[in-house]
């Protein structure tokens, strides 16, 4: 079988990582884009591990063989489907040990062309730790500021659709930055955030100007690295502004309408708001709870904006030196046109300086 390291893996066109670890390990963190084809489920993995600790290596290997044998046709079919789609499978497990070696061996016996990642996910994780630094930054960021609900994410999406490079930190974190941010999306841990961040930055490395949102240091469960916070502070700052009514409407349409029919939505909103209730005076706290109990999410959003997010926003803005462009966001498309003019102006100014 052909064995490759993580550096070589990234140079292979049309590759797909096949993660043969258990579903629990995969969910905890994996190489972005990987497909989980587990050789053991979580319970089986625990049994093999316990057998290894109590009885030793050989009994654990025998148990593993008994558990895996009935699954071999299914495992091979999964990998075969990847190969037949025109992709090149790269098999990995935790440390590049028995699990990936076994699957790679079965694949070769079945006539499938695969490669095995030496060092497994552990090597990949070390690669991220070693390479997630200022060397993969763009030259400068255009940083979008704005009160909660102003439409920063929508604007980034529109800019991306028009071909402008962006850094989407919310996508990296699986969280959209407010108490509603984890509703309707998986919230990633620090390892997954850093993996996603590395791969996004690698794509925009060295570009002259890249749009990003002025996210807080912590996004959901993840914390931004210091080098990125410093680059953000030195960026070109744009403050997006619109009314409370428009912002509340956008939040309701994005966070509430798609999910409010789900059985646990009200409970999830309550769980999201509960941690910040201690920050309010009793009267506001009671009003927030009443809105949740009545499922009056429109008024809940307005109250959170006026009593929690807006006062905090001004404090955050004071952390930046500026100067600031101020842009109205009453209409998203008009805003995108305005931002396009800003980036083109900076590109012209940069060309004149270089000339």
Hey, what are 69's tokens?
């044998």
Domain ranges (residues) in the chain: 2-131, 134-354
| Burial of 104 (C-beta count, 10 Å sphere; 0-12/13-18/19+) | buried
The H or E element containing residue 7 is: helix 6-11
- Give the pLDDT score at 323: 80
Distance separating alpha carbons of residues 67 and 65, to the nearest angstrom: 5
- Give the pLDDT score at 306: 94
Is 172 marked active-site? no
- Give the pLDDT score at 314: 73
Q: Which of 37, 93, 143, 156 is catalytic?
A: 93
216-246 burial code (b ≥16 CB/10 A, e <16): eeebbebebbeebeebbeebbbbbbebeeee
The residue count of the chain comes to: 355
Domain 134-354 sits in CATH 3.40.50.300 = yes
Closest listed residue to residue 346, CA positions, set 330, 317, 323, 314: 323
Place of tokens 């102003």: 150
Tens-place pLDDT, residues 123-175: 999 999 999 999 999 999 999 999 989 999 899 999 999 999 999 999 999 87
- Give the pLDDT score at 185: 63
Hey, what are 260's tokens?
């409010």
Does the model's pTM come out above 0.85?
Answer: yes
| CB of 155 closer than 8 Å to CB of 212 | no
Task: Divide the 355 residues of the chain into consecutive groups of 10 and give the mean pLDDT of each group.
Answer: 93 96 96 97 97 96 95 97 96 96 96 96 97 97 93 93 95 77 74 97 96 91 95 94 94 90 90 91 95 95 93 79 87 91 78 48
Collapsed DSSP state (helix, strand, coil) of residue 34: coil
Name every residue whose Cβ is closer than 8 Å to that of residue 64 and which is 6 or more positions away in sequence.
Answer: 40, 48, 98
Hey, what are 146's tokens?
């704005």
Fold of the domain spanning 2-131: Oxidized Rhodanese; domain 1 (3.40.250)
| CB of 48 closer than 8 Å to CB of 64 | yes
Hey, what are 118's tokens?
């030496």
Name every residue whose Cβ is closer than 8 Å to that of residue 327 and which is 6 or more positions away in sequence.
Answer: 238, 239, 240, 241, 335, 338, 339
Name every residue whose Cβ is closer than 8 Å to that of residue 70 and which is 6 or more positions away in sequence.
Answer: none
């Amino acid at each position: 079988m052909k064995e490759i390291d993580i550096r070589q893996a990234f140079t292979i066109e049309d590759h797909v990582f096949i993660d043969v670890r258990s579903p629990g390990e995969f969910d905890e963190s994996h190489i972005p884009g990987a497909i989980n084809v587990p050789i053991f489920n979580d319970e089986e993995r625990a049994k093999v591990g316990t057998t290894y600790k109590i009885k030793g290596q050989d009994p654990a290997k025998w148990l593993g063989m008994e558990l895996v044998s009935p699954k071999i046709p299914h495992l091979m079919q999964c990998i075969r489907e990847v190969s037949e789609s025109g992709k090149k499978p790269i098999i990995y497990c935790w440390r590049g040990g028995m699990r990936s070696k076994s699957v790679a061996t079965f694949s070769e016996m079945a006539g499938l062309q695969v490669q095995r990642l030496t060092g497994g996910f552990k090597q990949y994780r070390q690669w991220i730790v070693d390479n997630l630094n200022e060397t993969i930054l763009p030259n400068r960021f255009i940083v979008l500021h704005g009160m909660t609900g102003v439409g920063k994410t929508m604007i980034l999406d529109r800019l991306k659709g028009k071909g402008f490079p962006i850094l989407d930190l919310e996508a990296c974190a699986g969280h959209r930055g407010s108490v509603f941010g984890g509703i309707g999306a998986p919230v990633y841990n620090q390892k997954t955030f850093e993996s996603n961040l590395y791969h996004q930055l690698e794509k925009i490395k060295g570009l002259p100007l890249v749009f990003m949102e002025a996210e807080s240091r912590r996004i959901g469960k993840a914390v931004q690295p210091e080098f990125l916070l410093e680059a953000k502070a030195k960026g070109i700052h744009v403050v997006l502004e619109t009314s409370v009514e428009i912002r509340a409407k956008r939040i309701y349409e994005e966070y509430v309408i798609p999910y409010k029919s789900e059985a646990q939505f009200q409970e999830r909103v309550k769980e999201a708001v509960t941690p910040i209730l201690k920050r309010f005076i009793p009267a506001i706290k009671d009003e927030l709870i009443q809105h949740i109990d009545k499922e009056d999410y429109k008024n809940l959003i307005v109250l959170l904006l006026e009593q929690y997010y807006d006062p905090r926003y001004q404090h955050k803005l004071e952390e930046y030196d500026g100067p600031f462009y101020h842009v109205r966001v009453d209409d998203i498309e008009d805003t995108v046109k305005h931002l396009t003019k800003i980036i083109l102006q900076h590109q012209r100014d940069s060309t004149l300086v270089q000339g």
